[in-house]
Amino acid sequence: RMSRHAQQLRDHEINPCVAETDASRKCMDDNNYNRDMCTAYFLKYKRCRKFWHDIMMQRRRNGVKPEMPSAEERRKMLESMG
């Protein structure tokens, strides 16, 4: 059984970067844990985390609740950006 924290990390409502996490993990599995082979995946994950962290901080500053947009809101935000 997964811990509560592990379940939250797998929850698309809470974690906007589940796909990037999974892609990084799959790359590591596929490449015998050679980190050098997965740099591009790690960068995508880092960019994802930074992007949504910045959105969260902006919403916090503006008093918007919840601070993390819902999965549906995030999808619409990304679509509007192209």
Domain count, the chain: 1
Distances (CA, A) of 44 to 5, 7, 19, 50: 22, 22, 10, 10
Residue 66 and residue 6: Cα distance in Å, rounded? 21
Domain residues for the domain of 29 are: 4-80
Q: Is 12 exposed, middle or buried (0-12, 13-18, 19+ CB in 10 A)?
A: middle
What's the confidence (pLDDT) of residue 42?
Answer: 97
pLDDT tens string, the chain, 82 residues long: the values are 778 888 877 888 889 999 999 999 999 999 999 999 999 999 999 999 999 999 999 999 999 999 999 999 999 999 999 8
